[in-house]
């Protein structure tokens, strides 16, 4: 074989031999050397046609890094290879986004694949802040092809991680927009990816008073088993049931970074309870706050009047209830039209 293929094949064989002997740290080093050789050739003589090869060797480099780092940790040694892999993947990203070749043969078409791979790697390293550098680089690039022309898989991954970053920063409107778009673009056959999106989209909806349909939940059993108890508690306006469910699933929600967001949906369960008080009072526009206090006590939450007022003020400020508080007379004065707005979830397929 001519250069650089001779060196690339030799490194690949060395990697395979090391893997066969279960020497994963050595396999990673050989594979990393192969990636570096390919990157040099990629920057000088290879064009768009070689992108699938670059995708594969970077993807495998990440997997080998995770495997070898796990062995390091089992031997009580500090893991290091995933960080090395992240730098190599970042180099591939840079080679793509900075390419100056004409568009039909440009390496820029690999930009969003490597952006997604970097996001996955940075999240694994718990260095999510570095994802912002990737997004800034993409925004600063003025000659990238339109986003919609990239492979759909690359688009979905990028949108998902954009949504996840917004979610972790409590920018829920932006997160919802990215998640909904990613979900709609994701093929129906990608059940696992759709579940991953719903894992974060549904908590965002719950904080806004949007309850996903039973039909949607039934298509994703893992999501249904986790979130249906919360949805049932919200529909019943049963704050205590919501709190009990939150305690039951606390460890799981904390592990997937959704606990704090789901906890915010407690306010929606309380809003439903307050709406029931409003309906029991024949939709009177003026309702004594003591009745809301009694309703909370009925579902197992005995609170002071000041706390009831705080709940009401918060819901009014967020637009969940339309009206105002009469603090001196301890009344809630409700709008005569649509006092408890209804929020609908966008259709998902």
On the question of pLDDT at 163 being above 90, the answer is yes
When pLDDT is averaged across residues 218-225 and rounded to a whole number, the result is 95
* 308-to-186, 236, 285, 292 alpha-carbon distances in Å: 43, 19, 18, 7
Read off the pLDDT of residues 236-253 as tens digits, 9 standing for 90 and up.
999 999 999 999 999 999
Q: Where does residue 101 rank: exposed (0-12), middle (13-18), buried (19+ CB within 10 A)?
A: exposed
When pLDDT is averaged across residues 308-328 and rounded to a whole number, the result is 90
On the question of pLDDT at 349 being above 70, the answer is no
Q: How many angstroms from the chain centroid is the CA of residue 8?
A: 37
Q: Sort residue 17 into left (φ over 0), alpha (ψ -120 to 50) or beta.
A: alpha
Residue 342's pLDDT is 80
Beta-sheet pairing, 323-326 with 286-288: unpaired
Q: Where does residue 186 rank: exposed (0-12), middle (13-18), buried (19+ CB within 10 A)?
A: buried
On the question of pLDDT at 346 being above 80, the answer is no
Structure tokens at 197: 């999106």
Taking the CA atoms of 146, 152, 153 and 155 in sequence, report the sign of the dihedral they define.
Answer: positive
Secondary structure E strands in 124-205:
none
When pLDDT is averaged across residues 84-106 and rounded to a whole number, the result is 95
Residue 19's pLDDT is 95
Q: For the chain, what percent of residues have pLDDT higher than 90?
A: 80
Residue 326's pLDDT is 87
Dump the DSSP string for 227-249: HHHHHHHHHHT-HHHHHHHHHHT
| Buried-exposed string 117-153: b where 16+ CB fall within 10 A, e elsewhere | bbbbbbbebeeeeebeebeebbeeeeebeeeeebeeb
185 near 159, Cβ under 8 Å? Answer: yes
Residue 284's pLDDT is 82
Q: What is the spatial distance between Cα 336 and Cα 77, in angstroms, rounded to a whole number? A: 67
- Average pLDDT of every residue of the chain: 93
Read off the pLDDT of residues 180-204 as tens digits, 9 standing for 90 and up.
999 999 998 999 999 999 999 999 9
Instruction: Give me the half-sphere count of Cα atoms (radius 13 Å) on the Cβ side of residue 113.
Output: 21
When pLDDT is averaged across residues 154-159 and rounded to a whole number, the result is 97
48 near 106, Cβ under 8 Å? Answer: yes
CATH architecture of 1-139: Alpha Horseshoe (1.25)
When pLDDT is averaged across residues 51-58 and rounded to a whole number, the result is 97
Sheet containing 286-288: order of strands:
286-288, 331-334, 323-326
Read off the pLDDT of residues 5-43 as tens digits, 9 standing for 90 and up.
999 999 999 999 999 999 999 999 999 999 999 999 999
Q: What is the spatial distance between Cα 226 and Cα 221, in angstroms, rounded to a whole number? A: 9
Residue 42's pLDDT is 94
Dump the DSSP string for 109-136: GGHHHHHHHHHHHHHHTT-GGGHHHHHH
Q: How many CB atoms sit inside 10 A of residue 89's CB?
A: 23
On the question of pLDDT at 211 being above 70, the answer is yes
Per-residue confidence band for 328, with pLDDT thresholds at 50, 70 and 90: confident
| Buried-exposed string 233-262: b where 16+ CB fall within 10 A, e elsewhere | bbeebbbebbbebbeebeeebeeeebbebb
Domain boundaries, the chain: 1-139
φ, ψ of residue 217 in degrees (nearest 5): -65, -35
Taking the CA atoms of 304, 306, 311 and 315 in sequence, report the sign of the dihedral they define.
Answer: positive
Report which secondary-structure segment, H or E, holds 59. helix 51-74
Angle between helices 221-236 and 191-207 (to 10 degrees): 20
When pLDDT is averaged across residues 86-97 and rounded to a whole number, the result is 97
State whether residue 332 is helix, strand or coil. strand
């Amino acid at each position: 074989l001519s250069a650089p293929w001779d060196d690339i094949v030799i490194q690949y064989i060395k990697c395979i031999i090391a893997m066969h002997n279960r020497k994963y740290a050595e396999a990673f080093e050989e594979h990393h050397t192969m990636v570096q050789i390919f990157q040099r050739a990629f920057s000088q003589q290879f064009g768009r046609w070689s992108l699938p090869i670059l995708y594969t060797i970077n993807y495998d480099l990440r997997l080998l890094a995770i495997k070898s780092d796990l062995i390091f940790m089992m031997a009580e040694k500090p893991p290091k290879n995933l960080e090395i892999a992240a730098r190599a993947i970042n180099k591939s990203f840079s080679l793509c986004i900075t390419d100056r070749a004409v568009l039909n043969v440009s390496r820029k078409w690999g930009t969003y694949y490597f952006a997604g791979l970097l996001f996955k790697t940075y999240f694994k390293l718990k260095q999510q802040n570095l994802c912002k550098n990737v997004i800034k680089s993409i925004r600063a690039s003025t000659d990238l092809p339109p986003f919609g022309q990239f492979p759909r898989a690359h688009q979905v991954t990028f949108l998902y991680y954009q949504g996840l970053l917004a979610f972790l920063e409590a920018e829920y409107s932006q997160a919802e927009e990215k998640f909904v778009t990613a979900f709609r673009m994701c093929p129906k056959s990608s059940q696992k990816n759709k579940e991953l999106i719903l894992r974060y989209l549904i908590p965002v909806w719950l904080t806004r008073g949007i309850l996903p349909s039973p039909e949607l939940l039934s298509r994703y059993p893992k999501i249904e088993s986790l979130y249906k108890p919360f949805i049932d508690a919200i529909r019943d306006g049963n704050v205590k049931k919501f709190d009990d469910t939150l305690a039951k699933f606390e460890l799981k929600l904390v592990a997937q970074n959704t606990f704090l967001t789901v906890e915010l949906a407690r306010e929606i369960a309380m809003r439903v309870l307050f709406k029931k008080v409003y309906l029991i009072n024949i939709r009177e526009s003026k309702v004594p706050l003591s009745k809301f206090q009694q309703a909370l006590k009925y579902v197992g939450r005995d609170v002071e009047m000041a706390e009831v007022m705080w709940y009401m003020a918060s819901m009014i400020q967020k637009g969940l209830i339309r009206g105002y508080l009469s603090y001196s007379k301890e009344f809630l004065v409700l709008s005569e039209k649509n006092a408890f707005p209804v929020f609908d979830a966008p259709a998902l397929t």
